[in-house]
């Protein structure tokens, strides 16, 4: 058989995400946490949501879409987790998540229908620069 004939050789070509992904890891001292984008994730958790929580999540996704951000619910959840963990790293016991959990543990919110008061939950204006990226 003549050379180069008969057998084809498959060449693996990297995808767009691999071509444009930074290969430089973030420094360990960074104050910001980065959520992963649309890529294969090897780790999985299961989170159960109420019907209203799921509708709120979908409404947030659609609102972001109106702002020009196209993302799935998983990406939205990963971004929210990254923001909360960055806040926890930066503010510790004064972080949003610690304050919300503390208010529930302290019995300030025994009735689930009450929600959180303005004094318990700080404004998220500090997160606007993160969301603008």
Q: Which two tokens stand for residue 8?
A: 């084809």
Q: How far is 125 from 88, CA to CA, in rounded Å?
A: 16
Position of tokens 């799921």? 54
Q: Give, as one character, the DSSP assignment of residue 69.
A: -
pLDDT tens for each residue of 30-76: 456 777 766 777 888 899 999 999 999 999 999 999 999 999 999 99
Label residue 6 by pLDDT band (50, 70, 90): low
Chain mean pLDDT for the chain: 74
Q: How far is 61 from 76, CA to CA, in rounded Å?
A: 7
């Amino acid at each position: 058989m003549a050379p180069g004939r008969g057998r084809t050789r498959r060449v693996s070509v990297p995808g767009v995400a691999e071509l444009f992904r930074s290969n430089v890891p973030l420094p360990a001292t960074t104050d910001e946490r980065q959520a992963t984008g649309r890529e294969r994730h090897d780790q999985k958790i299961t989170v159960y949501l109420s019907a209203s929580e799921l509708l709120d999540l979908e409404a947030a996704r659609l609102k972001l879409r109106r702002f020009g951000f196209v993302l799935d619910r998983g990406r939205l959840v990963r971004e929210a987790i990254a923001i909360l963990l960055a806040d926890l790293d930066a503010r510790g016991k004064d972080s949003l998540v610690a304050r919300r959990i503390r208010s529930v543990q302290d019995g300030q919110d025994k009735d689930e229908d009450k929600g959180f008061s303005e004094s318990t939950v700080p404004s998220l204006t500090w997160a606007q620069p993160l969301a603008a990226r």
